[in-house]
Every structure is written in C-alpha cells, then in structure tokens.
C-alpha cells in the first residue's frame, strides 16, 4: 500500500530534551516536506526537500532541523524543544512535477512539550 508513515504518533516530552520524529514514504517520491498544524493558522511549512541531500526552509524553520540522506526518509529533529513547539506535525511527499504533484500526507504526530 502506498503510504507515508510517521513515528511516533503521540509524544509528550519536556523542554530541552532532544527528539526526532521519523517520516518514511514508499512511493519513490522526490519531494518531501514537514508541516505543523495549529488552530486558526492552518498548516505551515517547516522544511522541505526536493531530493537526497537537498533541503530548504519553509515559513517556520526556527527550532527545527531536517536531513535527507535517503530518498524514502525525512526525519524532523527538535534539538531543544520548547513549549511553543507543541503542535500537530505532518509529513508529506509528492512527485517532482508534471500533473501528479499533489501531496500525500502521513497520519500526523501530536507533540506536547512541557
């Protein structure tokens, strides 16, 4: 089954404790992206990647890191989480271009930073 998976689905942590949220897709998509969803703000793009070793900032990159060492994986790293990073996080992937460029989303990771 074609899908985007994220782990963990739920995470409660404390300020300053480094964490990683994993994202993996099995569709051989070139593009991958991380978003956070907050009430009233919709989804805001954190980082995106257009291919292996190619990443770029979205609208809200502060406090986050990403890496793209393999095509299928795109982990999101919070090196020193803070309470304002409490949010619902989504990973998404997409083909590069042409007509098939809609995004496929993972199920989401709900993060609480105390």
What is the C-alpha to C-alpha distance for residues 110 and 12, in angstroms, rounded to an integer?
A: 8
Please identify which residue in 24, 25, 48, 75 interacts with other proteins, judged by CB under 8 A.
48
Among 58, 65, 67, 112, binds other proteins (CB under 8 A): 58
**Is residue 89 a contact point for other proteins (CB under 8 A)?**
no
Q: Are the C-beta atoms of 80 and 16 separated by less than 8 Å?
A: yes
Q: Which residues contact 17 (CB under 8 A, 6 or more apart)?
A: 81
Sites of contact with other proteins (CB under 8 A): 4, 31, 33, 35, 40-45, 48-50, 56, 58-59, 90, 92, 94, 97, 99, 101-108
């Amino acid at each position: 089954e074609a899908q985007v998976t994220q782990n963990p689905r739920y995470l409660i942590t404390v300020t300053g404790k480094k964490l990683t949220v994993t994202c993996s897709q099995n569709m051989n998509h070139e593009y991958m992206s991380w978003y956070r969803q907050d009430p009233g703000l919709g989804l805001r793009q954190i980082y995106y990647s257009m291919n292996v070793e190619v990443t770029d900032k979205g609208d809200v990159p502060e406090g986050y890191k990403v890496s793209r060492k393999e095509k299928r994986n795109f982990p999101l790293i919070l090196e020193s989480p803070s309470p304002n990073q409490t949010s619902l996080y989504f990973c998404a992937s997409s083909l590069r271009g042409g007509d098939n460029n809609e995004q496929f989303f993972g199920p989401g990771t709900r993060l609480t930073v105390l």
